[in-house]
Structure 1
Amino acid sequence: MPTEPETSTGLVIFDCDGVLVDSEPLSLGTLTAGLNRIGVAIDVDTVRERFAGTSMTSIMGHIERDYGIAAPDGFVEAVKAETLRAFDRDLRAMEGIALAVRALELPSCVASSSDPARLAHSLGLTGLLPLFEGRIFSATMVSRGKPAPDLFLLAAAEMGFAPGHCLVVEDSVPGVTAARAAGMRVLGFIGGGHWEHDPTGADLIAAGAERVYAHHRDLAGLIGRAAASV
């Protein structure tokens, strides 16, 4: 176990999609097109509003309950494969994130709703994998994904920190909700391509983020302010 940090923040936990990589416009578009093909009448704005930040298992459960449409065999695997092809063509790291992570004076890790294969693919494509290798946690590792707190609690425990000494960087309401339920502080990131609908980050603030920001060059200062405000 590490010694108690000098400030309230000892560990920074990053979500991946929409925080580290600008993947949400690609993945939400691919998912929407796939759902339309199997008869789900839904648009990309509704998919973003309802499902951004949640796992495919949770998404398909909601689709079956709310739309009465069960995914055919192979649907999830096909959408995942199509999403990875879209990533191969167009995925980019968030501007400034590599520099911001390297400049951190605190341990960091990733806790994401994506499965391990997608995480490795996304972080590998964008050159971010070496910054987090061995410290990447997926919703597949817990019984309940976001907005339940399980994934963040797992990440904190594996990294050796109490929840109250963790600061989460999230871009989705389910992610912010999960972090707050875990007893962690949250910064909301609104710099991704899917946040044009809410440039003030009001949804994230309402869910419990203490501040929102749009460029990772501001991250270090915000972490410092989070520690000082305790």
Structure 2
Amino acid sequence: MSKYKCIIFDCDGVLVDSEPIGNQVLVDMANELGANIDLLYAYKHFKGGKMQSCVDKIEALINQPIPEDFTDVYRQKSFEAFKANIKPVDGVTELVQSLKIPYCVASSGPENKIRHNLKLTGLLPFFEENIFSCYTIQKWKPSPAIFIWAAETLGFNPDECVVVEDSLTGVRAAKNGDFDVIGYTAHDYNNELKPEATYVFNSMEAIKKLLVEF
């Protein structure tokens, strides 16, 4: 039996395989402005952060302000790309179905994006009442505020919870709030998570063994 009483999942890259899709849209749009970056750059510099931080980095690369409608256009294009291509992370549906303790999703994305992608991947029914967005509280990772809010809402202390994250920013946010954190490393191309996460696993089956079977 797991020692934890509550599990807090990140969304992008943990529940839904959206990171390659969303980041590629952002790379393409940035390159249209002259940024000259690739997907690996996006994973390193954009992953897990708030949208404004991504915008700031792109503006620094091109040395000028981006168009005022950049974020709105990105949201539209990424939503369309998600609709066409998004899938649940391999093995996560089976993991969620097997859980016997409370769980929720806490993400840096806006709630409509979280719901959109969970619905497209068939995961929304599992999280319908337990979705927490940084946009609601206007505090973003690496602040631990989103995880603290989620834990308190579900009635748990940080030491009773474990967070599942795939970004260094998210792992640091969990640690900043005194949460144990599982680093999901399937897309950790820079090997950043192992030094800071409580555990690291590259498959949902391995995470399931930790959370359900032991």
State the TM-score, normalized to the length of structure 2.
0.92
Task: Spell out, residue by residue over 1:91-123, the C-alpha distance to the aligned partner (whole angstroms, 9 max, x if none).
Answer: 000122111111112100001111111111100
Q: Deviations over 1:119-172 (max 9, x none)?
A: 111000000000001101111022321111111111111111111111000000
- Secondary structure (helix, strand or coil) at the match of 2:164 reads strand
- Distance in 2 (alpha carbons) for counterparts of 1:67 and 1:177: 29
Q: Does 1:27 align with 2:22?
A: yes
Give the one of 43, 61, 66 matched to 2:56: 61
Q: Distance in 2 between matches of 1:40 and 1:174?
A: 23
- 1:36 equivalent in alignment to 2:11: no
1:157 maps onto 2:152 in alignment: yes
* Whole-angstrom distance in 2 between the partners of 1:101 and 1:179: 20
Cα distance in structure 2, aligned partners of 1:146 and 1:66: 23
- Segments of structure 1 that go 5 or more residues without pairing to the other structure are 1-5
Name the CA distance, whole Å, in 1 between partners of 2:19 and 2:181.
Answer: 20
Per-residue CA distance 1:169-210 (angstroms, 9 max, x = gap): 00000000000001100111123xx44x35xxx31012x212
| Partner residue, 1:203 | 192
Point out 4+ residue stretches in structure 1 off by more than 6 angstroms.
none
Contact 2:34 2:62 in 1 (8 A): no
Structure 2: which 5+ residue stretches go unaligned? none
Q: Quick one: structure 1 residues 220 and 44, their matched pair in 2 at CA, closer, same or farther if it must change by over 3 Å?
A: closer
Write out per-residue CA displacement over residues 19-74 of structure 1, whole angstroms, 9 at most, x where no aligned residue.
11111111110001111122323222111101101121222234345653322121
How many residues align? The count is 214
Q: 2:74 aligns with which of 76, 79, 85?
A: 79
Who is 2:120 aligned against? 125
1:220–1:82 distance in 2 versus 1, CA, 3 Å: same
| Paired position in structure 2 for 1:216 | 204
- The one-letter code matched in structure 1 to 2:203 is H
Residue 216 (structure 1) shift:
1.4
Quick one: structure 1 residues 173 and 63, their matched pair in 2 at CA, closer, same or farther if it must change by over 3 Å?
Answer: same
TM, length-normalised to structure 1? 0.86
Is this contact kept in 2: 1:8–1:164, CA < 8 A?
no
Q: Which amino acid aligns with 1:56?
A: M
C-alpha contact 2:98 2:212 (8 A) present in aligned 1: no
Counterpart of 2:4 in structure 1 is 9
- Structure 2 equivalent of residue 3 of structure 1: none
Query: What percentage of residue pairs aligned between the two structures are identical?
Result: 36
C-alpha spacing 1:151/1:62, structure 2 compared with 1 (3 Å): farther
Aligned-partner residue type, residue 87 of structure 2: R
Is residue 95 of structure 2 the alignment partner of residue 100 of structure 1? Answer: yes
RMSD value, Cα: 2.0
